[in-house]
Amino acid sequence: MTSQRTRDRLINRLRDQGIQDESVLDVMRNTPRHIFIDEALSHRAYEDTALPIGYNQTISQPFIVAKMTEVLLSERPLQKVLEVGTGSGYQTSILAPLVGQLYSVERIKPLQDRARERLKLIGLNNVQFKHTDGGMGWSSKAPYDGILAACAPESVPEELKQQLAIGGRLIIPVGGSDSQKLNLVVRLSEDEFSTEILDCVKFVPLLSGTVR
Ligand code: SAH
């Protein structure tokens, strides 16, 4: 079930659905998604679907991970990137090989601890983690060339926009539980931003505060 053939099938499916960036597809082909979920569900690891990871959270659907990564990387190589919502660490492990330095924040400590161990296991060492409310970003490491949020606020947090470098890109689901839109916000200058709506999506909500 975790054979190369099963994984290749997922990659072909992503390609059929429009993912074109071969570097993204390559990283996804080589990343063992089954280590990011409970053993009881690992037989479903290479299905293109979100799955529960405990604490009412889910590992993101592979297509969405691929799409968000592709959009974030589409203009130029990214040196510093912030991820909001580490979760299982799966999206983290897809982004990390494709960027210079990745900063990842998560509000639920046990999830982040497990994600950190998994990334160590697969040998990724350009990621720094912080247990914090990511709606506020991670200001001491800003500015970022890219920010990717895996949880949905009701509107784009001003703090995240302000932590973008000029030319930086923020990809974030926005909206309530029944209708969310994937937004791409680009910082054009110190105080000008463009916003493009890419897709209808379904993410867990961005919640405030932290859980130990
Ligand atoms: N991409 C992740 C998906 C994680 S689900 C994966 O592939 O596993 C979204 C995550 O965002 C959850 O773990 C949730 O706890 C986290 N989250 C929600 N609100 C947050 C906030 N304000 N700050 C940081 N993380 C948050």
Instruction: Please state, for a pLDDT cut of 90, what percent of the chain lies above it.
Output: 95
Say what the pLDDT of residue 108 is. Answer: 98
Say what the pLDDT of residue 177 is. Answer: 82
Q: How confident is the model at residue 182 (pLDDT cuts 50, 70, 90)?
A: very high
Is 74 an active-site residue? no
Structure tokens at 44: 């479903």
Query: Which of 202, 169, 176 minimizes the C-alpha distance to 72?
Result: 169
Q: How confident is the model at residue 13 (pLDDT cuts 50, 70, 90)?
A: very high
Q: Which atom of ligand 1 is nearest to the CA of 85?
A: 11
The CA distance from 185 to 164, in Å, is: 10
Distance 193 CA to ligand 1 centre (A): 25
The CA distance from 31 to 191, in Å, is: 38
Section 172-191 average pLDDT:
95
Structure confidence by residue, pLDDT tens digits, 85-110: 999 999 999 999 999 999 999 999 99
Cis ω before 143 (30° cut-off from 0): yes
Query: Which of 60, 61, 70, 68 minimizes the C-alpha distance to 25?
Result: 70
Q: Is 91 in the pocket of ligand 1 (CB under 6 A)?
A: yes
Q: How confident is the model at residue 178 (pLDDT cuts 50, 70, 90)?
A: confident
Query: Which of 100, 50, 93, 46 minimizes the C-alpha distance to 73?
Result: 100
Exposed/middle/buried for residue 105 (C-beta within 10 Å: 0-12, 13-18, 19+) = buried
The CA distance from 211 to 108, in Å, is: 5
Bridge partners, residue 83, by sequence: 104, 148
Q: What is the pTM of this model?
A: 0.97
Query: How crowded is residue 5: how many other Cβ atoms within 10 Å of its Cβ?
Result: 8
Say what the pLDDT of residue 1 is. Answer: 53
Distance 106 CA to ligand 1 centre (A): 6
Whether 99 contacts 78, CB under 8 Å: yes
- Average pLDDT, whole number, for the chain? 96
Give the residue, out of 204, 208, 211, with the most ligand 1 atoms within 8 A of its beta carbon, to mutate for a pocket test: 204
Q: Looking at this protein, which amino acid is placed at residue 116?
A: R
Section 3-24 average pLDDT:
95
**Torsion of Cα atoms, 109 then 115 then 116 then 118, to 10°:** 150
Whether 80 contacts 144, CB under 8 Å: yes
3-state secondary structure 53-68: EECCEEECCHHHHHHH
Say what the pLDDT of residue 3 is. Answer: 81
Structure confidence by residue, pLDDT tens digits, 49-65: 999 999 999 999 999 99
- Residue with the smallest CA separation from ligand 1 atom 17 is 85
Q: Looking at this protein, which amino acid is placed at residue 164?
A: L
Q: Is 28 in the pocket of ligand 1 (CB under 6 A)?
A: no
User: 62-201: what fold?
Assistant: Rossmann fold (3.40.50)
Distance 54 CA to ligand 1 centre (A): 12
Give the residue extent of every domain in the chain: 62-201
